[in-house]
Amino acid sequence: MMRAGQAVGTLTKQAWQTTSGTSLKMTVSLAFIPAFNIHVGAFSRVRYSSRPVKAGFSTYQGLDPDRAKDVLKKAQVICFDVDSTVCAEEGIDVLAAFLGQGQAVADLTAKAMGGSVLFQDALKGRLDLIKPSRADIQNCLLRHPATLSPGVKEFVGRLQARGTAVYLVSGGFRLMIEPVADRLLVPRDRIYANTLLFAENGSYKDFDPNEPTSRDGGKAAVIKSLKEKHGYQDVLMVGDGATDMQARPPADAFIGYGGVVVRDPVLQGADWFVRSFQACAFNFGEYARTSILRNSGDFLKVEVHV
C-alpha cells in the first residue's frame, strides 16, 4: 500500500546492475523501507534484496521541510521526545499493562498525545489509575526493558560525534528514562522528565508538579530555558505528539516522527514529517551518493556516502 508522501516503484536486480560502476545523486531522502537491510550507523554497506522489492522515497512531507533540514544540519541542540519516538512504545502504557490497567491508560495516553485533553489532566488521571510504587517500576523495567526505535541509537551517535548536544525531553517518568539515556550515552543531567514522589515505604504518593514537562506547554518552557541558560542557537525538537509540536517556537523547527504511531495533528503541523530516523540521518549531507560495488549471490552490495 502506498503511503502518503511517497513515490513507490519496483527495483529489480537487473535494474540495479545497469547502474554498476556509476554514482547516483539522490536529492530525496530514503524513507522507511522494511524490505531493505540498512546499516545506518556505518553508512558503508547497504544490502538490497536481489528479488523485486518495493522502495519508497520521501517527498519531504510537512509545512517547511527545507527549513527543518537546514536546522538539522546546523543544530547545536536536538531535543528528543522519548515515548513513541526514541522508544518504540509509551512507557506509561507498558507500566500500566504490567499493573493490569493497560487499556484505560492507553486511551488517556492517546488523548493526551493527540492534544484533545490537557497533558497535566491526562497525566494525573493515568497515575491515579495505576499508582505505581518504586518497586513496581523497577520490576517493570527488569521484565520489559525499553525497545529503542530502529536507527535512533545510530542517529544520536552521529549527532554527538559532530558535537550536537542531545537532550531527552519527555512527559514520561525520569526513573524509566534514565536507563534509555544510559544506552544512548546521553548524560542524565540532559533529561527533562517527570519525577514521581514516593512515601517512605516506596508506595506512590504523587508526581512533582514543578517539573515543566508535567503540564501543557512544558516542552516549550524547557527549550526556552535551555536557550536562555546556554545561549543555544538552532534548536530542533523531534517527537510524535502534540506536546512536542508545542515546543516550536521557541524550537527553531519541529520534526514529527511517525515511525511508531502517526498522529494526524502532527502529520499536518510538523515542519517535516518522517517515518524513520534513517530519513533524518540521510539528510546530514546535501545528497546521498550511491554506487553498486558488486553482485554477490543473493544480494547486491551498495555503498552509500553522505
Residue 7: CA count within 13 A, CB half-sphere: 7
Is 206 a catalytic site residue? no
Element (H, E) at 167: strand 165-173
Candidates 265, 269, 267; CA nearest to 253 is 269
Is 83 a catalytic site residue? yes
Length of the chain: 306
Residue 26: CA count within 13 A, CB half-sphere: 21
Q: How far apart are CA 168 and CA 149, in angstroms?
A: 14
Residue whose C-alpha cell reads 503511503 in the numeric block: 3
Q: How far apart are CA 35 and CA 120, in angstroms?
A: 40
Centroid of chain to Cα 97:
22
Cis-peptide into 145, omega within 30 deg: no
- Name the amino acid, one letter, at 218: G
Contact 69, 283 (CB under 8 A): yes
Contact 184, 87 (CB under 8 A): no
Contacts of 182 (CB under 8 A, 6+ apart): 188
Catalytic residue among 64, 83, 93, 128: 83
Catalytic residue among 66, 70, 81, 208: 81
> Annotated catalytic sites, by residue?
81, 83
